[in-house]
Amino acid sequence: MERNTQFVGQSTAFLDAVERASRAAPLQRPVLVIGERGTGKELIAERLHQLSRRWSEPLVTLNCAALPETLIEAELFGHEQGAFTGATRARAGRFEEADKGTLFLDELATLSSGAQERLLRAVEYGEVTRIGSSRPIKVDVRIVAATNEDLPRMADDGRFRADLLDRLSFEVITLPPLRVREGDIGVLSEYFGRRMAAELHWESWPGFSELARRQLEDYQWPGNVRELRNVVERAVYRWDNWDLPVASIQFDPFVSPWKPAAPARADNSNPDRSAPPPAAAPDIEMVTDLRGAVDAHEKAILETALARHRYNQRQTAKALGLSYDQLRHAMKKHGLMERG
């Protein structure tokens, strides 16, 4: 599947961030993109580049956390032959590669103090000096940087140069996490689901069941859009009945009855660590029908357990500590037999 570079969403918080990026794009100024993992920081960097006058020039990306501290400066600024052990030939750095274009620095907060100092000079004077050289090279580069760290706090703690932060923060675009993007979980789920169904050559897209949609909406999405895409695509490709709505959602792909056991720990406060968490209980103060509240809670537990085990009744019964007949009786009681 091709890389997805589209912005999908309808929430005000999300559209405001995209609009701010669009307004900042034509300006020849640095931009900081702040957000949790999986919120789309690289997509914003691409938008800033494509909507600028530099769109026909290179967009060069460097993940600052992917290289050891000893190599990051050579990667950014280049080096001359013999500048250090292993430097068998001269090499241009990312700044020179991005000349006339845009340099996207991901995970900016991981830069060493030495790299921060050299980056400050490059931003302030528009020139870089290769390691092992004394001759500065003029470059015309627009910098877009991204991080999920609190840079002002890091500057206050002395872990990030305050003067560099001042130079890079002409505009700061903070991306909202998925959990606060009202209405976007459903929109994105349908979008990724349809794409995956098309990739698998399904004749039509049946959508998600009501329970599956509710599970997707209730989840907190610590990995944001990237995690949502993985969960949705995994659910679609594992679903065998294309005529029925997708009803089985697995958030953690590592969950398995054959998962290697963790080493024994001294803490025995929760002996049954493999048991699934119970469904959320109703607000006790709002309960006016005890039997109805108990039945609703029992039904929610059954629905969740059945979906988790792909409606395999024997596995569901075992997971809930019931006999097969007890589970069948409970399913019949709550009208779940047809779905089962």
pTM recorded for the entire structure? 0.73
Instruction: Output the pLDDT for position 264.
Output: 61
Question: Which residues have a Cβ under 8 Å from the Cβ of 306 and sit 6 or more positions away?
Answer: 313, 316, 331, 336, 339, 340
Q: Is the pLDDT higher at 36 or at 327?
A: 36
Mean pLDDT for 66-74 is 85
Q: What is the pLDDT of residues 95-108, one digit of tens each?
A: 999 999 999 999 99
Q: Is the pLDDT higher at 1 or at 116?
A: 116
152 and 227: one domain?
no
Nearest to 250 by CA among 232, 223, 274: 232
Instruction: Output the pLDDT for position 283.
Output: 60
DSSP state for residue 201 in the 8-state scheme: T
d(CA 40, CA 46): 10
Extract the tokens encoding 135.
């001759």
290 and 157: one domain?
no
Q: What is the pLDDT of residues 284-301, one digit of tens each?
A: 666 677 777 777 888 888
Instruction: Output the pLDDT for position 3.
Output: 47
105 and 142: one domain?
yes
113 and 188: one domain?
no
Mean pLDDT for 18-41 is 96
Which CATH number is 186's domain given? Answer: 1.10.8.60
Which CATH number is 308's domain given? Answer: 1.10.10
Is residue 264 assigned to a domain?
A: no
Q: What is the span of the domain harbouring residue 212?
A: 179-238
Mean pLDDT for 254-261 is 80
Provide DSSP, 228-242: HHHHHHHHHHH---T
Extract the tokens encoding 308.
């988790």
Check pLDDT > 70 for residue 221.
Answer: yes
Q: Which residue has the tokens 């559209």?
A: 15
Instruction: Output the pLDDT for position 8.
Output: 92
Phi, psi of 128, rounded to the nearest 5 degrees: -130, 155
The total number of structural domains in the chain stands at: 3
Q: Which residue has the tokens 């907190």?
A: 220
Q: What is the pLDDT of residues 270-280, one digit of tens each?
A: 444 444 455 45
Average of per-residue pLDDT values in the chain: 87
